[in-house]
């Protein structure tokens, strides 16, 4: 009988131990789970805080970004209205429009004829004179007026009129020569003077930009 009880005691001891181990293991798993939940929650808090900071920054930055948009006055200056009666035949004026300067040239009959004649010349940047006079709405232009941005297409210097062998402009910087339609004829510039966008708004009025 005593021997049986001792055997029973021996069997009970490992069982208690295994219960303790099981409790310990469960506690450990629980701790791991809690740790995972904590990390997830912490990540969420970080993400939420980051998102809130981004939104906050966006709101804070908006007044500065908005300040950089052009004012109504500046937007109005994007176009420039010209009274063509102030430009006599054979004269040109330089005007500011859309933040750039443009030549408005009142061409003589001779300049017009030279430009049209050279539609068939060997051109580096082929374009007919008529195509260079077209208004920005696609309507034909007037042969008397050529309106081009004044920057040389080589490096942006300002060409001078009545210089160079084609009767138009010559750039003093590296010698690019443009004809009376503003087409590049010699020198390093790769393109014609760019035509400025414009429309005629009256018999003697043009809006550039």
Q: Does 102 bind ligand FES (CB under 6 A)?
A: no
Q: How far is CA 180 from the centre of its chain?
A: 32
State which residue, 70 or 156, has the beta carbon closest to ligand FES: 156
State which residue, 133 or 193, has the beta carbon closest to ligand FES: 193
Examine the residue annotation and report whether 154 is marked as an active-site residue of this protein.
Answer: no
Are residues 177 and 187 in contact, defined by beta-carbon separation less than 8 angstroms? Answer: yes
What's the N-to-C CA distance of the chain in angstroms? 115
State which residue, 188 or 197, has the beta carbon closest to ligand FES: 188
Q: How far apart are CA 82 and CA 96, in angstroms?
A: 10
Minimum distance from residue 201 beta carbon to ligand FES (Å)? 32
Q: How far is CA 164 from the centre of its chain?
A: 35
Residue 183's SS3 state is: coil
Residues 130-189 that bind ligand FES (CB under 6 A): 152, 154-157, 171, 173-176, 187-189
Tell the burial category of 188 from Cβ atoms under 10 Å away from its Cβ (0-12, 13-18, 19+). Answer: middle
Minimum distance from residue 87 beta carbon to ligand FES (Å)? 24
Binding residues for ligand FES, how many (CB under 6 A)?
13
Residues near ligand FES (CB under 6 A) are: 152, 154-157, 171, 173-176, 187-189
Tell me which residues are annotated as active site: 174
């Amino acid at each position: 009988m005593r021997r049986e009880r001792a055997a029973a005691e021996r069997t009970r001891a490992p069982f208690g131990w295994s219960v303790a181990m099981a409790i310990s293991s469960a506690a450990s798993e629980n701790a791991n789970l809690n740790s995972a939940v904590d990390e997830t929650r912490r990540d969420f808090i970080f993400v939420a805080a980051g998102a809130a900071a981004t939104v906050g920054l966006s709101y804070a930055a908006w007044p500065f970004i908005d300040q950089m948009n052009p004012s109504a006055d500046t937007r109005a200056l994007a176009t420039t209205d010209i009274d063509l009666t102030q430009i006599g035949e054979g004269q040109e004026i330089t005007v500011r429009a859309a933040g750039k300067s443009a030549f408005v040239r009142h061409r003589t009959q001779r300049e017009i004829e030279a430009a049209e004649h050279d539609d068939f010349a060997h051109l580096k940047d082929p374009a007919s004179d008529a195509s260079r006079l077209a208004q920005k709405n696609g309507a034909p232009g007037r042969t008397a007026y050529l309106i081009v941005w004044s920057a040389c297409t080589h490096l942006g210097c300002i060409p001078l009129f009545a210089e160079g062998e084609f009767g138009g402009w010559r750039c003093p910087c590296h010698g690019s020569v443009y004809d009376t339609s503003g087409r590049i004829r010699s020198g390093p510039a790769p393109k014609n003077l760019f035509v400025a966008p414009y429309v005629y708004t009256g018999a003697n009025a043009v809006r550039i930009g």
